[in-house]
């Protein structure tokens, strides 16, 4: 699903126009990006948490030449799925009876 398909579903579910749904989705995405860029986290209970994480400096290898190179420390965005989201994607199977 891409953004336009998501906007279409949101508009239908909320009973609003596609333009209004697109504007709302863009505002939400912008707010999440701005907040995570400041180093804060955004938690949507049941859905998940967006946050930034430091990735340590490490040594890599150029796949073309095989030469080693230093990859500097950086900050990357990270998403952790919430319990309800995880349960919806991979529902737990009922435990079988033990003999």
Which numeric CATH code is attached to 42-89? 4.10.520.10
Domain ranges (residues) in the chain: 1-38, 42-89
> Per-residue confidence at 28, pLDDT binned at 50, 70, 90?
very high
CA 10 to chain CA centroid, nearest Å: 18
Residue 35, C-beta contacts closer than 8 angstroms, at least 6 positions apart: 41, 42, 50
- Residues 10-48 as b or e (16 or more Cβ within 10 Å = b): bbeeeeeeeeebbeeeeeeeeebeeebeeeeebeeeeeb
- Grouping H, G, I as helix, E, B as strand and the rest as coil, residue 46 is coil
Report whether 60 contacts 51 (CB < 8 A): no
Query: What average pLDDT does range 10-27 have in this prediction?
Result: 97
Q: Looking at residue 31, what is its pLDDT? A: 98
Mean of the per-residue pLDDT values for the chain? 93
> Per-residue confidence at 98, pLDDT binned at 50, 70, 90?
low
Q: Looking at residue 92, what is its pLDDT? A: 79
């Amino acid at each position: 699903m891409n953004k336009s398909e998501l906007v279409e579903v949101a508009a239908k579910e909320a009973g609003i126009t596609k333009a209004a749904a697109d504007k709302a989705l863009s505002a939400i995405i912008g707010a999440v990006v701005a907040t995570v860029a400041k180093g804060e986290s955004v938690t949507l209970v049941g859905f998940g948490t967006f946050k930034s994480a430091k990735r340590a400096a490490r040594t890599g290898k150029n796949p073309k030449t095989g030469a080693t190179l230093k990859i500097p420390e950086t900050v990357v965005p990270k998403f952790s799925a919430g319990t309800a989201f995880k349960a919806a994607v991979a529902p737990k199977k009922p435990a079988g009876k033990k003999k």
